[in-house]
Amino acid sequence: MVGTIMLAAGLGIAFLGPVFRAQNPAQLIATPRLGPSVKYPLGTDDLGRDLFSRVLSGGVDVVLVPLLATAVAFIVGAGLGMDSGYVQGRFDLVITRSSRRAHCSSSAAARHRFHIELRELGPCAGPCDLGILCAAHRMQILTRSS
């Protein structure tokens, strides 16, 4: 119950915060680095912008960007995972091995090398490289279950 209340309060502040902010968050309104006061509850930043207005304005981005990234990764990963399970053959082999390699590689050099190797496999693999890099874990789950 407490978690639900905290989640509702956080989402309410994120989506309703821009409505209740006092100033434009990008406007230079006061002396830089003022402490908290009645007029500026969180003070001002190094440029003299109201921090409270900036916090209220930034909540929507903090909530929507991860949701959209997760949705895109799920859609791409689920689509490629189901396709590789249905089509099988060379396409399944390419998708499965590519997703395992992308899932295991963590360094930027390894991801770049993976991207180049995937491009060399042919025209069917080229458009899939972004989806594989973003959704390797979801594809492995869907491929194993089919």
Give tens-digit pLDDT for 127-143.
Answer: 444 555 555 555 555 55
CA 98, CA 125: separation in Å to the nearest integer?
10
Split at pLDDT 50, 70, 90, the class of 5 is: very high
Average pLDDT over residues 19-38: 89
What three-state secondary structure class fits 44? strand
pLDDT digits (tens, 9 = 90+) for 29-76: 999 999 999 999 999 999 999 999 988 888 888 888 888 888 888 898
Instruction: Give the start-to-end residue ranges of the domains of the chain.
Output: 2-58, 68-145
Average pLDDT, the chain: 77
CA 80, CA 115: separation in Å to the nearest integer?
16
Whether pTM > 0.75 for this model: the answer is no
Tokens for 21, please give them. 């902010």
- Asked whether the beta carbons of 25 and 50 are under 8 A apart, the reply is yes
